[in-house]
Amino acid sequence: MNYKELLMNFELMDDWEDKYQYLIDLGKQLPVMPEELKIDANIVKGCMSRVWLDIQSNQDALSIRADSDAHIVRGLIAILLILFNNKTKSEILNINIDEVFLEIGLNEHLSPNRRNGFLAMIDRIKNY
């Protein structure tokens, strides 16, 4: 799935309860992160729940694997992977996350703690 498809799916739903359920469903579809990558060095600081983020450089693009112990956060990770996984460094740096939040509606419906955790994941990717 690409970002345009993700945005269209969110736009089809009027109720935020449905959108939250969609986020949870996205999280359930995440690829399994190997247990050997769930180490302290991969824990994202600033997240309320436990989030592991492994970033590798594949030639010009970054390969990202992530997981969390919280269902909604796993859904946010799915969005993060749609936005950033297998993208070049310049593509990653050009993503306007504030615009993404506005388009999807996360700015209005995501708790400040989850937003801060999501931004901590993005900062870690951009700083890589």
* CATH of residue 20: 3.90.1010.10
Q: What is the mean pLDDT of residues 3-26?
A: 93
CB burial of residue 27 (10 Å; 0-12, 13-18, 19+)? buried
> Is 24 in contact with 75 (CB distance < 8 Å)?
yes
What's residue 110's pLDDT? Answer: 85
Q: How confident is the model at residue 42 (pLDDT cuts 50, 70, 90)?
A: very high
How is residue 61 written in tokens?
């693009």
With left for phi above 0 and alpha for psi between -120 and 50, is residue 105 left, alpha or beta? Answer: left
Whether pLDDT at 109 is above 90 = no
pLDDT at 112: 87
Please report where in the chains the tokens 């993060």 appear, as a residue: 80
State the chain's mean pLDDT as an integer. Answer: 92
Q: What is the DSSP letter of 2?
A: -
Mean pLDDT of 63-83: 95
Tell me the mean pLDDT in the region 48-54.
93
Residue 21 structural domain: 3-127
Least confident stretch, 3-12, 54-63, 101-110? 101-110
pTM of the model: 0.92
Q: What is the DSSP letter of 17?
A: H
Backbone φ, ψ for residue 95 (5° rounding): -75, 125
How many CA atoms does the CB half-sphere of 28 hold within 13 Å?
6
Give the number of domains in the chain: 1
pLDDT score for 38? 97
**CA separation (Å) from 24 to 9, 68, 94?**
14, 12, 27
Residues marked active site are found at 47
